[in-house]
Chain A
Amino acid sequence: MSAIVAGFFEIGQSIAIIAMMLLSVVLGFYNEYKAEKIIDDLRQSVSLKAVVTRDNKTNEIDSRLLVPGDLVSVYVGDIIPADTRVLECKDLEVNEGTLTGESFPVEKKCDTINLDHPIPQDLTNCLFMGTVVVHGSGRGLVVSTGRRTEFGAVSHSLARARPETEFQRGVRKYGNMLITLTLVLVIAIFVLNALVGRRIIDSLLFSLAVAVGLVPELMPAIVTISLSHAAREMAKKKVIVKRQVSIEDFGNMDVLCTDKTGTLTSGKIALKSHLTFGDDAQLLEYSLLCNSAVVGEKVTGNPMDSAIWEYAIENNLQHIIDSYTSIDEVPFDYQRRMMSKIVQRNGQNRLITKGAPESVIPKCDYVSVSRSNGSDSEGETIDHFRRVLEKELIENSKAGYRTLAVAYRTIESKQGYSVEDEKSLTLLGFLVFTDPPKNDARLALDRLRALGVDVKILTGDNELVAAKICEDLSLESTKTFRGSDLTAMSSHELREAAKSATIFARITPEQKLDIIKALKADKHVVGFMGDGVNDAPALFEADVGISVESATDVSKDAADIVLLDKDLVVLADGIEEGRKIFGNTTKYILMGTSSNFGNMFSAAAASLFLPFLPMLPMQILFMNLFYDVANMTLPTDSVDTEVTQLPRRWDINFVRNFTLFFGPFSSLYDFLTYGIMLFIFQAPAALFQSGWFVESFWTEVLVIFVIRTRRIPFVTSRPGKWLTILTLSCVAVGTIVPFTRLGAFLGFTALPVHYWLLLVLMVATYLLLVDAGKVFFYRVCKF
Chain B
Amino acid sequence: MTLYSSTMIWWMVSISWSAIFLIVVSFYLYWKGPRPQSESSQGIIGKAKDFIFVWILTSLLVLYIYTINYSSAVIFAAGNIIVEVILVVYTVRNRAKKT
Residues of A within 8 A of B (CB): 602, 605-606, 608-611, 657, 660-661, 664-665, 667-668, 671-672, 674-676, 678-680, 682, 711-712, 754, 757-758, 761-762, 764-765, 768-769, 771-773, 775-777, 779-782
Known A675-B15, A679-B2: A775·B90 in contact at CB below 8 Å: yes
Chain B 86-99, CB-CB to A under 8 Å as 1, else 0, gives 01101110110000
**Contact between A768 and B71, CB atoms less than 8 A apart:** no
**Contact between A675 and B91, CB atoms less than 8 A apart:** no
Nearest CB in chain B: distance from A757 CB, A: 7
- Those of B27-51 within 8 Å (CB) of chain A: 29-30, 32-36
**Contact between A768 and B91, CB atoms less than 8 A apart:** yes
Known A660-B25, A761-B81, A765-B60: A771·B2 in contact at CB below 8 Å: no
Q: Which residue of B lies closest to A782 (CB)?
A: B34
Q: Which residue of B lies closest to A768 (CB)?
A: B87
* Residues of B with C-beta under 8 A to A676: 68, 76
Q: Which residue of B lies closest to A598 (CB)?
A: B18
**Contact between A675 and B64, CB atoms less than 8 A apart:** yes
Q: Which residue of B lies closest to A601 (CB)?
A: B18
Given contacts A768-B88, A772-B91, A779-B36, 14 further A-B contacts (CB under 8 A): A611-B4, A661-B25, A661-B29, A665-B22, A667-B18, A668-B15, A671-B18, A674-B14, A678-B4, A678-B7, A679-B2, A761-B77, A765-B84, A771-B87
Known A764-B84, A765-B80, A768-B91: A678·B11 in contact at CB below 8 Å: yes
**Contact between A769 and B11, CB atoms less than 8 A apart:** no
Q: Which residue of A lies closest to B20 (CB)?
A: A664
The residue from B11, B21, B35, B91 contacting A771, defined by CB atoms under 8 A apart: B91
**Contact between B91 and A712, CB atoms less than 8 A apart:** yes
Chain B 1-21, CB-CB to A under 8 Å as 1, else 0, gives 011100110110011001101
* Residues of B with C-beta under 8 A to A775: 53, 90-91, 94-95
Q: Which residue of A lies closest to B85 (CB)?
A: A768
Q: Which residue of B lies closest to A755 (CB)?
A: B73
Nearest CB in chain A: distance from B1 CB, A: 11
Q: Which residue of A lies closest to B12 (CB)?
A: A675
A-B CB contact pairs (8 Å), 8 listed:
A668-B18, A675-B15, A679-B4, A680-B71, A765-B83, A775-B91, A776-B53, A779-B94
* Residues of B with C-beta under 8 A to A779: 36, 94
* Residues of B with C-beta under 8 A to A605: 14
Q: Which residue of B lies closest to A771 (CB)?
A: B91
The residue from A606, A758, A761, A773 contacting B14, defined by CB atoms under 8 A apart: A606
Known A765-B80, A771-B87, A782-B34: A664·B11 in contact at CB below 8 Å: no
**Contact between A675 and B68, CB atoms less than 8 A apart:** yes
**Contact between B80 and A761, CB atoms less than 8 A apart:** yes
Known A679-B8, A765-B60, A765-B80: A668·B87 in contact at CB below 8 Å: no
Chain B 54-89, CB-CB to A under 8 Å as 1, else 0, gives 001100110010001101010011001101100110
**Contact between B14 and A780, CB atoms less than 8 A apart:** no
**Contact between B87 and A610, CB atoms less than 8 A apart:** no
Known A675-B64, A761-B80: A780·B30 in contact at CB below 8 Å: yes
Nearest CB in chain A: distance from B73 CB, A: 6
The residue from A660, A665, A668, A679 contacting B71, defined by CB atoms under 8 A apart: A679
Q: Which residue of B lies closest to A667 (CB)?
A: B18
Nearest CB in chain A: distance from B30 CB, A: 5
* Residues of A with C-beta under 8 A to B84: 761, 764-765, 768
Nearest CB in chain A: distance from B94 CB, A: 5
Q: Which residue of A lies closest to B90 (CB)?
A: A772
* Residues of A with C-beta under 8 A to B35: 780
Known A610-B7, A671-B18, A765-B80: A781·B71 in contact at CB below 8 Å: no
**Contact between A781 and B29, CB atoms less than 8 A apart:** yes
**Contact between A602 and B91, CB atoms less than 8 A apart:** no
* Residues of A with C-beta under 8 A to B56: 769, 772
The residue from B8, B19, B71, B73 contacting A664, defined by CB atoms under 8 A apart: B19
The residue from A610, A664, A672, A772 contacting B64, defined by CB atoms under 8 A apart: A672
* Residues of B with C-beta under 8 A to A674: 11, 14
**Contact between B14 and A765, CB atoms less than 8 A apart:** no
* Residues of A with C-beta under 8 A to B60: 765, 769
Q: Which residue of B lies closest to A679 (CB)?
A: B68
Nearest CB in chain B: distance from A183 CB, A: 21
* Residues of B with C-beta under 8 A to A664: 18-19, 21-22, 25
**Contact between B57 and A769, CB atoms less than 8 A apart:** yes
Nearest CB in chain A: distance from B25 CB, A: 5
* Residues of B with C-beta under 8 A to A661: 22, 25-26, 29
* Residues of A with C-beta under 8 A to B30: 780
**Contact between B19 and A764, CB atoms less than 8 A apart:** no
* Residues of A with C-beta under 8 A to B8: 679
Give the docked Cα–Cα distance between A771 and B71 (Å).
Answer: 28
* Residues of B with C-beta under 8 A to A772: 53, 56, 87, 90-91
**Contact between B15 and A672, CB atoms less than 8 A apart:** yes
**Contact between A764 and B64, CB atoms less than 8 A apart:** no
* Residues of B with C-beta under 8 A to A668: 15, 18-19, 22, 61
Q: Which residue of B lies closest to A606 (CB)?
A: B14
Interface centre among B2, B7, B35, B36 (most CB of A within 10 A): B7
**Contact between B3 and A682, CB atoms less than 8 A apart:** yes
Give the docked Cα–Cα distance between A712 and B29 (Å).
Answer: 22
Nearest CB in chain B: distance from A688 CB, A: 10
Nearest CB in chain B: distance from A710 CB, A: 9
Q: Which residue of A lies closest to B9 (CB)?
A: A609
* Residues of B with C-beta under 8 A to A758: 73, 76-77
Give the docked Cα–Cα distance between A26 and B74 (Å).
Answer: 46
Give the docked Cα–Cα distance between A68 and B80 (Å).
Answer: 78
**Contact between A609 and B64, CB atoms less than 8 A apart:** no
**Contact between A757 and B25, CB atoms less than 8 A apart:** no
